[in-house]
Structures are given as structure tokens and as C-alpha cells.
Amino acid sequence: MNIHAVVYCVLLSFVLFFFRNGYAKLAPDYIHPCDATTRECLVKSTQDAIPEFVKGIPDLGVPSLDPFVIEKLAIPLSGLKVTFYQGKVTGFRKCVVDNVISELEKRHFVLEFHCNLTIKGQYDAVGRLLLFPINGEGDAKIKLTNLRMKVDINTKYIKDDKGVNHFALKNYKYSFDYGDRVSFDLQNLFKESKELSETVLNFLNENWKTVAEEFGKPIVDYAVDLAIRTIEKFFLAVPYEELINVPIPK
Ligand SMILES: *[C@@H]1O[C@H](CO)[C@@H](O)[C@H](O)[C@H]1NC(C)=O
């Protein structure tokens, strides 16, 4: 190869490099945009994306949801002070999508799904729970079977500083139920007595619904808020046009 050919090749690779990067799509390959907002396509496309999406997208600043970490969470209850820390939540990758509604014109988005989740970590608790005086700390494991959730999001359309369109979140609300069962494995509920610890733990499991309703909401709020903020980051990173093949309504 003579020098001209070398220069040509180098230039050509630069041009190709910049061309490809300039037009590179940002959405990961597991995003399969729908051509219409039909329930069938939206459910499938969301279901396809979940197992990969929950791993996070470090390049785009989107954090992992499975596992996700709860560094420290104080659960305020009347008469009982529970702190949960070094928690690790797993299971989102296997969530089953039950329904997705995307009303582009009304700027409204609904996602319904159910999942089995496991939360593992450490806890301490001092005070009274139901009838029992609690004074414990140790390992905690909570399993939720078929937790059902519906997230209702009002969206808007924004342009970033390059003039590219994005979905954005205006506000959201959600509802959920604890599903088929919540099981608790809380070690050392009473530092003084192993026997009493086991008795109370059995009682908590027999009354899982009451217990979950009593102290589950802050954990669920925390998880939903994190998931929503993750989706928000994803929307800000990936252009609207790469998520759905339907123009933004006027
Ligand atoms: C959750 O676990 C239960 C019992 O092990 C199983 O029947 C159910 O299909 C699971 N649900 C999901 C969403 O994986």
C-alpha cells in the first residue's frame, strides 16, 4: 500500500467512526419498539425488556433494579422502631407483565405486573409489635409471593438541549396488594430468648397480612420510588423515537 492509500484508509475509518457514532441509536437491543399502542405489543415488548432492563445500563447512568440495594431504611411505626439495613432486593427480572396501557395523546401510561421478590438484609427493632415487646436484631429475610402492582404515570414530552424528543414523568401513583403470601424470617426478635423469638416469628407468619400491612408500605414505597426514578433516567437517556414507532401527538 502506498502512502495515499494509507491516508485514505485512515480518513475513511475516521469518517465511518464519526458517522456511526453520530447516528448510533441509544436504546439497547432488547428494546423492541411497537408500531402501535396495542395492548398485545406493549405487554410483549415490556415483558421482553424487563429481564435486561433491571440489570441497569451503566453507560446511560441507569442503575440496577435486580438486585437493588437498600442501604438503610427506618420504618416509622407507632410504638416500634424498626431499621432495615444492607438490604438486597432480588426478583424483579422475573416479574410478569399483566397489562400495559399507553395513551400517548392523554399522556398517560399504566403498567400492571406481579412478581416474587426476596429481601435479605439486617434489621433491628425495639418497641412493641402487635402484642409483643420486641428487642431484637439480626438477619432478616422477607419473601413476597405474587406481589401485584399497578403503576399509573402521567407523562409529558420534552426536548433535550440537542432538540431530541423524550418521554418524561410528570407524576405517578401506584396501588398494590401483597398477593398470595409474605413470609418473614427474622432472627433474634428477642435477644434474650431463642424460644420466644421462634414463637413470635411463627405468630408473625401466621398473621403475615396484618404484619405486612403494618410495616410493609415504607419498603414498597421505597422500591417503587427507585423503580420510577430508574425509568425516568432511562427516558431522559433514550429518545422517544427509539421507544415507540408512533409520532408524538400534537
Ligand atoms: C411465584 O412463586 C409461586 C410459588 O412458588 C409460583 O407459583 C408463581 O408462578 C411465581 N410467580 C412469578 C411471577 O414468578
Per-residue pLDDT of 97-109, as tens digits, reads: 999 999 999 999 9
Any ligand 1 atom below 6 A from CB of 114: yes
Q: Which atom of ligand 1 is nearest to the CA of 114?
A: 13
Question: What pLDDT, in 10s, does the model give residues 135-184?
Answer: 899 999 999 999 999 999 999 999 999 999 999 999 999 999 999 999 99
Any ligand 1 atom below 6 A from CB of 145: yes
Q: Name the residue at shortest CA distance from atom 8 of ligand 1.
A: 146
Q: Name the residue at shortest CA distance from atom 5 of ligand 1.
A: 145
Q: Is the pLDDT higher at 118 or at 12?
A: 118
Distance 120 CA to ligand 1 centre (A): 18
Give the distance, in angstroms, between the CA of residue 99 and the centroid of all CA atoms in the same chain: 16
Scanning the structure block, which residue is given the C-alpha cell 400492571? 112
C-alpha cell at 95: 416479574
Any ligand 1 atom below 6 A from CB of 146: yes
pTM over 0.85: no
End-to-end CA distance of the chain: 56
Assign residue 56 a region (left: φ > 0; alpha: ψ between -120 and 50; beta: otherwise). left
Distance 144 CA to ligand 1 centre (A): 10
Amino acid residing at 229: R
Give the Cα separation of 4 and 99 in Å (integer).
60
- Average pLDDT score over the chain: 89
Q: Which atom of ligand 1 is nearest to the CA of 96?
A: 13
From residue 167, how far is each of 47, 150, 242, 249 by CA, in Å?
19, 19, 11, 12
59 CB-near residues (< 8 Å, 6+ apart)? none
Give the Cα separation of 4 and 29 in Å (integer).
38
149 CB-near residues (< 8 Å, 6+ apart)? 112, 113, 114, 115, 174, 175, 176, 224
Residue 192: pLDDT band (50, 70, 90) is: confident
Domains, the chain, with CATH or none? 28-242 (3.15.10.30)
Give the Cα separation of 8 and 62 in Å (integer).
39
φ and ψ at residue 234, rounded to 5 degrees: -60, -45
